[in-house]
Amino acid sequence: MFDGYNGRRRLKNTLAIALGVVVLIALYYTPPVPPFPEEPIPQIYIPAPNPPSQSVVTEQRPGVLSNIEFINSPYLSLHLLPTNLIPIIVLSKAANIEIRDTIRRTWGFYRPYLNDTLRIKIFFLVGTDDFMIQRIRTEQIVFDDVIQVSIPDMYTFSAYKEFSAMLWVRNYLPDVPFYIKADDCLIINMRVLVDKFLSIMKPHLNKNVLIGWYDIDNTVQRGRFQKFPDSVMSSTEGELRFAMDLFYVVTAKSADRMLGTLSRIEQIDCPAEIFVTGILRDAANVDMTNIPIYAGNLKYEFSDGSCRDAFETDRNLLICTSSLHIGPIRSVSEYFDAWYAIIAPLPA
């Protein structure tokens, strides 16, 4: 009964084996298909950035200057800057990113003045903040105007940042005759700065002077701060005058004198806000140029948030403080509102 079934089954198995053998033989003798030639991967040219600016501390500097190291943007092309340049070094904290961006869009906008015979360039000098390293790096690459210095971002070290600004300008912009030091809490009336302030101060800009507001109240007895001057000059009595530290002008000659004095000092204990314009200036024999004597109509105001009204009221107002001067900024709109008041058409 099962003979026919078993015979058919054996026949199917035999045919299956034979078919498999035929397929194997066919595959064995079929010449291999050459692989498709691979397309060469196109080379993408990525231009390398300019080599990073060399740190100022590539060799040991004397005195307290040896503690300063700059971390400049690798895209800073300082050799391309025009010769008719006035740098404004704005001291800022690393965390104040929004403030710096607001300044760039208002009074710090890079543009020509006086029919392109004058350029004013803003550089922000910030200290170190471990939580802001990558953000500062990104800001440096995008805006190309941030310089970081190896000084903690604390009020106690503000004087170190001030003479760091001095050192940076003399090393990286050695041909400029002077620079302006400012703080990021300031709103500057650029119209008054260019049209009035610089023209009035022009005769002093090549002298050994530090230009600022040396108000009557800005004095201190020498004995309280004698430790530093004793190491570079004889003890003296009397009052020591200093300038308002938010805004002042340092000439190249005065900067060289003050840096020379700093190079002879190994340590400075707790320098206060009077250090650069008072103690250091006096020890380095740098003369004072008091703004009110030559430009008495130019004013500054501690408005601390009401700068729009201040600029509208006084068209000779040179600088005004935002609320950042006394604490956290209330709103960056303070800068924009004040700037709109500055650029508004002058009354006929």
Question: What is the CATH topology of the domain spanning 56-297?
Answer: Spore Coat Polysaccharide Biosynthesis Protein SpsA; Chain A (3.90.550)
The first and second tokens of residue 299, run together, are 């004013």
pLDDT score at 221: 66
The conformation of residue 61, written as its DSSP 8-state character, comes to P
Per residue in 270-281, pLDDT (tens digit) is 677 788 998 889
188 contacts 182 by C-beta, under 8 angstroms? yes
Q: Where are the domains of the chain?
A: 56-297
Total-model pTM: 0.80
In the chain, the DSSP E strands lie at 70-72, 85-92, 112-113, 118-128, 146-152, 178-183, 186-188, 209-212, 219-221, 239-241, 247-251, 287-290, 299-301, 317-321
Helix/strand number for the chain, H first, E second = 12, 14
For residue 344, pLDDT over 60 is answered with yes
pLDDT score at 272: 72
Phi-psi bin for 249: left (phi > 0), alpha (psi -120 to 50), beta?
beta
Per residue in 129-163, pLDDT (tens digit) is 888 889 999 999 999 999 999 999 988 888 889 98
For residue 198, pLDDT over 70 is answered with yes
Per residue in 219-268, pLDDT (tens digit) is 766 655 555 555 555 555 667 788 999 999 999 999 999 999 998 887 77
The first and second tokens of residue 293, run together, are 């004597």
Nearest CA among 128, 124, 131, 132 for reference residue 73:
124
pLDDT classification of 38: cutoffs 50, 70, 90: very low
The first and second tokens of residue 69, run together, are 């190291």
pLDDT score at 274: 82
The highest-confidence range among 37-41, 62-66, 297-301, by mean pLDDT, is 297-301
* Mean pLDDT score, 99-105: 97
The proportion of the chain whose per-residue pLDDT surpasses 90, expressed as a percent, equals 49
Per mean pLDDT, which range of 17-21, 66-70, 114-118, 287-291 is the poorest? 17-21
